[in-house]
Amino acid sequence: MAFTRILTLGLSLFAAGAVTTTARAESLLHAKPKADALLPVDQAFDLQGATRKGHEIAIDWAIAPGYYLYGHTLKVSVDAPANAPFTGPVLPKGEMLKDAEFGDVEVYRNVMRAKLTLPADAKAPRTLRVRYQGCADIGVCYPPQTRIVAVK
């Protein structure tokens, strides 16, 4: 009986070593990413709103890790009241991305804040029409998005 117990222990030790080895090999074979991991566009580029402070309006995005917004495709216009004047949008310095097709383009990661400046004696916009576009580092791009944003 003692012999059987020792044999069982020996086999268990062997199995432990083999299982550990197999588990590592399996994880290498199946290191592919899981499905459904690409975020919906509004989670990738979370347009958080437009905030007015004096003669300035700030439009903010929270950008998910691994995604970026293009600066040059950002377009802002006044939705209401029609023809409310402003200058901008102005963006801070972003990250320069070298693209074989589009050349050097400025992109924004993590956050993007666009600023508009309002004339001192004009009506402030109540709602803005904002168009923006971005991509994911894995090599896919989302279509341009247009949103109407209330100015708070």
Partner 1 sequence: MSGFSRQVALVAAIAFTAGAAGFWVARLMPPPAPEVASVSPRKPAPVSGLEGQPAPALSLPDLDGKPRSLSDWPGKWLMVNFWATWCAPCMHEIPALVAAQTKYEKHGLQILGIAMDDPDAVRTLMREKGFNYPSLVGDEQVQHIMEQFGNTMGALPYTVLIAPDGVIRYIELGGVDTPKLDMLMQRFLPL
90 or 141, CB closer to partner 1? 141
By CB under 8 A, residue 148 contacts partner 1 = no
By CB under 8 A, residue 96 contacts partner 1 = no
DSSP 2-50: HHHHHHHHHHHHHHHHHHHHHHHHHHHHT-SPPTT-SPPHHHHEEEEEE
Rounded Cα–Cα distance for residues 62 and 80 (Å): 25
For residues 127 and 77, the answer to whether their CB atoms sit within 8 Å is no
Which of the residues 24 through 53 are near partner 1 (CB under 8 A)? 24-25, 27-28, 31-41, 44
Rounded Cα–Cα distance for residues 59 and 74 (Å): 11
Nearest distance from C-beta of residue 107 to partner 1, angstroms: 11
Nearest distance from C-beta of residue 106 to partner 1, angstroms: 14
Among 21, 48, 51, 87, binds partner 1 (CB under 8 A): 21
Which structure tokens are listed for 105?
């383009």
Q: Tokens 């803005």 correspond to what residue?
A: 128
Rounded Cα–Cα distance for residues 83 and 7 (Å): 88
3 or 96, CB closer to partner 1? 3
Which of the residues 103 through 132 are near partner 1 (CB under 8 A)? none
Question: Three-state SS for 122?
Answer: coil
8 or 87, CB closer to partner 1? 8
Which residues of this chain interact with partner 1, rule CB under 8 A? 2-3, 6-7, 9-11, 13-14, 16-21, 23-25, 27-28, 31-41, 44, 64-67, 73, 99-102, 133, 135-144
